[in-house]
Amino acid sequence: DTLVLPNSSSRRASIQGRRLSVTDPQDGGGKQGRVPSPTPHGASAKRSSLVSAGASLSGLESRRQKLTIWPEWNDADVNVEKWDIPKKEEKKTAKSPTQQSHSIFEDLDGKLELPPSLKADSWKRPAEFIRDRIPVVLDTDNVSSGFDLVSNNKHLHESEFMRHCISQIIALWEMSVVNVPIDIQEAAVISDETTHSWYPWEHIYSLCKAGKGPHMPLYNSYGKYVIRLYWMGCWRKITVDDLIPFDSHGHMLLPSSTLQHELWPMLLTKALIKVA
């Protein structure tokens, strides 16, 4: 099943436009000390307009060159993933055993660029805001009861992207309900028991192996996670960290379930925002 967000292209266009508006073009003036010859007002205005347009195109080309193309998904690649800090990096950056034990992963793409209506005041790791429980990607004791992505996320409903994201996950979950046959040999006999053919947390990988069978992503204290998403015609490998944004009122700016020690909604949404 593919998770698709409506209107993501329009959001991308608005972000690109906003980026262009804050990009300062390089100075294209003449040599120092050179005095420009007098020109009529109309010609000067035209030249200024052309220079401005050229600078804008230059900025656009610069942005296009930085477009991230995430690698195609490969199970073997994920199965050799380094989930903790590399030993060479430990020796290079850590000066004491205490520092080594607190080495954490940071997304190489930098902090996540949130939808325009959401303003981050601070970023926290799970251990900083989950105090009463041990963080987990999925609370397996409550899988059978499903999940609730509405009750705790009303403050996010003003964001069009977050509304689409939450509703798409809920819709896919409800559409994936299937009845469990009482006996494989008697598939025509349908029981009252149901299961799901799609689980949102199965897009997430951490400290586990990828393959044809089911897998269970585990909480990674190092903070590195890999998300499998369908983008540009194939499945892609999206790497994210577990830095979570909060606004000035202490509200989390990513969806959470009612089990707030579960990380899968936040991690999945971070990856969706990156490709949107």
Task: For residue 220, give the nearest of 74, 71, 82, 80 by alpha carbon.
Answer: 82
Q: What are the backbone angles phi and psi of residue 226, rounded to the nearest 5°? A: -115, 130
**Strand 244-246 vs strand 122-124: parallel, antiparallel, or unpaired?**
antiparallel
pLDDT above 60 (res 227): yes
Query: What is the rounded average pLDDT of the residues 130-148?
Result: 92
Higher-pLDDT residue of 149 and 195 is 149
**pLDDT tens string 35-78:** 444 445 555 555 555 445 555 545 544 444 556 789 999 999 99
Contacts of 210 (CB under 8 A, 6+ apart): 75, 78, 79, 228
Q: Where are the domains of the chain?
A: 73-275
> What pLDDT score does 62 carry?
47
Model confidence at 20, pLDDT cuts 50, 70, 90, reads very low
Structure confidence at residue 3 (pLDDT): 61
pLDDT value, residue 100 = 40
Report the interhelical angle of 264-275 vs 160-175 (nearest 10°).
Answer: 120
Residue 137 near residue 267 (C-beta atoms within 8 A): yes
The rounded distance, in Å, linking the Cα atoms of 11 and 118 is 13
pLDDT digits (tens, 9 = 90+) for 246-275: 999 999 999 999 998 999 999 999 999 999
Is residue 31 scored above 60 in pLDDT? no
Which pLDDT belongs to residue 270?
98
- How many CB atoms lie under 10 A from the CB of residue 38? 7
The predicted pLDDT at position 4 comes to 54
Range of 13-17, 105-109, 239-243 with top mean pLDDT: 239-243
CA angle 212, 255, 71 (to 5 degrees): 40
Task: Report the percent of the chain where pLDDT is more than 70.
Answer: 65
- Supply the pTM of this predicted model: 0.71
Q: Where are the alpha helices (DSSP H) in the chain?
A: 8-22, 41-65, 75-79, 87-93, 97-101, 126-129, 160-175, 264-275
* Confidence band, pLDDT 50/70/90 cuts, at residue 23: very low
pLDDT value of residue 68: 72
Secondary element (H or E) of residue 254: none
Question: How many other β-carbons are positioned within 10 Å of the β-carbon of residue 232?
Answer: 9
Mean pLDDT (whole number) for 163-171: 97
Question: How confident is the model over 77-136, as pLDDT tens digits?
Answer: 999 999 986 545 544 444 443 344 458 999 999 999 999 999 999 999 999 999 999 999
